Each structure stands twice: as C-alpha cells, then as structure tokens.
Structure 1
C-alpha cells in the first residue's frame, strides 16, 4: 500500500481517537441515542454542504438512495448507538479491546465475502500483532478491574460486526461519488436515529457550551470530514487495511489524555504503540518484502 494511503489511515485513526474525548463530554448531558443522532445528523449536514460547494451531482436513482440509506443504518446508526450504550455497563479497557477486533473481523468477513479480498497468512499475522498491541495499550485499564455485563460485551461485538460488513458493502458503491455517498448514507442513519432518540430519551436539554462544541466537533470533524477521505481511499486500500484505523485510535486517545486530561502513559502502553506499528508494517507487506529481499 502506498505511503500516502498510510498517512491518511493514521490521520483518520487519530481523529477518530478524538471521538473518545467528545463522547465523554457529550454523555454528561445527553443520552447515547442523542450522541448518535447528533453525530450522524450534523455529519450529514456537513457532507451536503461540501457536496453543494463542490457542485457535485446528486444521484437520482431512488433504489440507490434506499441502498445507501440502508448502508448508513448498518455502518453508523447501529454501531454509533451500540458502543455508547455498552460503555455504561462495560469496562472501558474491554470496550477498547473489542473495538480493536474490527480489523480481524473485517479480514474474516472480507475473505468469505463474494468478490471480497482474500486474506493472506501475512495479513492475518499482521492483524493479530496489531490486536496484541491494542491489548497492551489497554492492559492497565483491565488490571484495575471493573464489571462487564455479557449483553454489553455482545453489543460491542455487534458494533465491530457492523463495521466489518459495512466496509465490504461500501466496495460495491465505488461508482458513486464519495461526497454524495457519505451525505446520503449519513442522512439514512439520521432519519432512523433521531425518532428513536426522541422516543426513548425525549428532547435533550443542553446547557454547557462544551457540549455544543463537542457535538459540532464530532459531527463535522470526526464524521463529515473523515468520511470524505474514507470513501475516497477505501476502494483503493481495501477493507482490511482500512480497518487498521481502529489500532491507531487508542494511541490518539492516550496522547490526548496526557495533553488534555493530564493522564500518564505507562511503559507497557509505549510498548503497545510499538507493537501496533510493527503490525501495520506486517499488514502492509513491508516486513515480508524486507525478509524475502535479504533471503
């Protein structure tokens, strides 16, 4: 995979790591369903504004709109709701490990997906190394204890499955302009999420300025902006390679925790970062090519 693609993957993973901070702020005043609804709603609005600014054509096929709306439900409405709901009942370290399973789940789904990318032993090895690094990153949180209800763990697993399936579905829409794809898919997610939020959590009452700031940031930066990039590079790099962004996100979250919240990075977490980057090089094939070259 080209160096520029890895740069984008690292950048996207870092931005999505910021979402942990934004979610922590939002959940103080609004429920998890409104966290989801505000994210996809503002994200959709941002994508439509980009589409208008770029003067890109809007697809007119009703069937395509239904398909992309369904993709938005699987890719965004469901996982964006499952993780916040689960995190009220599952240890944060457990949730982070489960989220880092996304590349492994994606590699398996892609291998058996019709027309999907077949995973090589080298790629599977790289994914396993990356997961081991993620486990090292969150091991201090795990050692501190905390209860994890079975249903919450299953909810997190369901979210990773949604990500894996949606990444493979997205490949079939490579003919759709990326901005239009993101706008329609997010709109589908918002149309489903907002009524559920109103029904189960009522009208939200927001009094803090930081809540509005986090809402705009997670909607415009972590969603609208990142999805412009995601839909452009996903057909080029493949679902499994792209899913490695979930290995980068915990690193970003840790660094932000140090710089913003004054937290401490432990030596074992630095080791985890190094293992993750080694796994990324394995997935990319650079380690194998270097080994074969020396042989």
Structure 2
C-alpha cells in the first residue's frame, strides 16, 4: 500500500481508539443498546448532511436500499451492540484481544471468499505478529474481572460480522461512498433504535459529557471515519483495512496517558513495537527488503 493509504488507516484506527473513551462515558447513563442506537443514528444524520452539502445524488433503487440497509445491520448494528453487551461479563483486556482478531478473521474469510483476496504466507505472518503485539499491549489488563464463555463468543461474533461485511462492501465499490455510508447507517439505525427502546426503555441523559460523547462517537467516530473508509477500502483490500484494529489499542493507550494521566508500562511499548512490525509484514515491505538482501 502507499504511504497515503497507511496514513489514512492509522488515522482511522486512532479515531476508533477514542471510541473506547466515548463508550465509557455513555455507558454511565444509558444502556449498551442505546449506545449503539445513538452511534448509528447520529452517524447516519451526519452522512446525510454531507450528502446534501456536497449535492450528491440520492440512489432511488429500492433493491439497493434494502441491500445496503441489511449490510448496515450486519456491519454496524450487530457488532456495535455485541461488544458493549459482552463487556458486562468480560475483562476489558480480553475484549481488546478478541477485537484485535479482526484482521486474522478477515484474512481467512477473504482468502475463501469468492473473488476475495488470496492471502500470502507473508500477510498471514503479519496478521499473526500483529495479534501477538495487541495481546502484549493489553496484557496488564488481563487480570481485570471475569470472562464468561458467552461474552467471548459474542465478541468473536462481532469480529466475524466485521470480516464478512468488509468483503461484502467491496462488491458495492460502484456506489458513491457518501451515499453508501448514509444508507447503510440508516438501515442500522432503523433496526437498532426500536430494539433499544423495547429492551432498555426511554434513555435519560442529564450530563453534558454524555451528550458530548454521543455527538463525538456519532459524528467523529462514525460519520467522518466512514466517509474515508468507503473511499479507501476498495483499493487497499479488506485484510489491510482490518489492521485498524491493531492501531485502536495504541490510540486508546496514548489517550489514557495524555488525558487520564495513566502510566505506560515497558511491556506495552514492546507490544506497540511488535504491532508495527506486523504491519510491515502485511504491507509486504519486509518481504521486499528480504529479497533485496544478497545471499
């Protein structure tokens, strides 16, 4: 991949790492299903605002609306709900490790997907190295709380949703990215909102920081990032794009140090270093350098 594409992936991973902070603020006042509903609902409104501001044409094909709406449910409504639901009975460190499995699951799904990317041994090696780095990065948190089997399976289900949706998304590369994001998020919101209402009742948000977190996770972590995601995904591929889940824990750690004044441990620096090594393998740069070295 080009340096520009890697820059976008790092930026997206960094922003999605901030979502952990936003979720932590939101969950103080509202349930996890409402967190999901606010995220996709506000994200959809943000994307529609961009659509009208840029005067992009709105697709009128009902079949396309149905397809993208259902994709939004698989890609956003389900996984965005599974992680916060699982974390009630799952140690945060374990949840982060399972989330970091996304590139590995994506590489496997893509390899066997019809018309998907055939992963090379070098790319599989990079994914494995990146996962090891993510595990080391969050290892200090592994002792926090209990981990129940259902919660682990829920998080694995979320990574599977991400992997499948990333591969499906490539088949819609002819659709204008802004329209794609707006319709997919609208579909997710249409399903998520009534489920949240009947499951958790009417949400009550009295703190200003709760409203701020809702706007931030909807507009920044969703609407803004999805404008970028749907533009670069067709050219970088599902496996490369999924490496954003390796960047997110680093972002969350740095944010914790700068905002919450947490301490960085030497083992976490080692984890970040290993993650960057894995990204070099996935990108193919390690293989290129290896072949240039004379025997």
Query: Per-residue CA shift, 1:172-220, capped at 9, x if unaligned?
Result: 0000000000000000000000000000000001110000000000000
Match of 1:69 in 2: 69
- For residue 145 of structure 1, report the CA deviation from its aligned partner: 4.3
Q: Distance in 2 between matches of 1:60 and 1:112?
A: 33
Match of 1:36 in 2: 36
Q: Distance in 2 between matches of 1:294 and 1:54?
A: 49
Q: Distance in 2 between matches of 1:145 and 1:189?
A: 32
- For residue 262 of structure 1, report the CA deviation from its aligned partner: 1.3
Q: Distance in 1 between matches of 2:163 and 2:132?
A: 19
Do 2:92 and 2:144's aligned partners in 1 also have CA atoms closer than 8 Å?
no
- For residue 47 of structure 1, report the CA deviation from its aligned partner: 0.1
Gaps of 5+ in 2: none
Match of 1:51 in 2: 51
Aligned to 2:65, the other structure's residue is in SS state helix
Q: Distance in 2 between matches of 1:150 and 1:156?
A: 10
Q: Distance in 1 between matches of 2:77 and 2:139?
A: 29
Q: Distance in 2 between matches of 1:118 and 1:61?
A: 32
Counterparts of 1:19-168 in structure 2, within 5 Å, are 19-142=19-142, 144-168=143-167
Gaps of 5+ in 1: none
Q: Distance in 1 between matches of 2:197 and 2:283?
A: 44
Query: Per-residue CA shift, 1:97-136, capped at 9, x if unaligned?
Result: 0000000000000000000000000000000000000000
Match of 1:253 in 2: 252
Match of 2:210 in 1: 211
CA RMSD of aligned residues (A): 0.5
TM-score (norm 2): 0.99
Pairing 1:240–2:239 present? yes
Query: Per-residue CA shift, 1:40-65, capped at 9, x if unaligned?
Result: 00000000000001111111110000
Query: Per-residue CA shift, 1:220-263, capped at 9, x if unaligned?
Result: 00000000000000000000000000000000000011111111
Query: Per-residue CA shift, 1:256-281, capped at 9, x if unaligned?
Result: 11111111110000000000001001
Q: Distance in 1 between matches of 2:79 and 2:17?
A: 16
- For residue 146 of structure 1, report the CA deviation from its aligned partner: 2.4
Aligned to 1:261, the other structure's residue is in SS state coil
Match of 1:284 in 2: 283
Q: Distance in 1 between matches of 2:144 and 2:233?
A: 37
- For residue 294 of structure 1, report the CA deviation from its aligned partner: 1.2
Q: Distance in 2 between matches of 1:271 and 1:108?
A: 27
Aligned to 1:159, the other structure's residue is in SS state helix
Match of 2:265 in 1: 266
Query: Per-residue CA shift, 1:50-87, capped at 9, x if unaligned?
Result: 00011111111100000000100000000000000001
Q: Distance in 2 between matches of 1:153 and 1:129?
A: 21
Q: Distance in 2 between matches of 1:205 and 1:97?
A: 32
Q: Distance in 2 between matches of 1:198 and 1:101?
A: 31
Do 2:93 and 2:144's aligned partners in 1 also have CA atoms closer than 8 Å?
no
Match of 2:185 in 1: 186
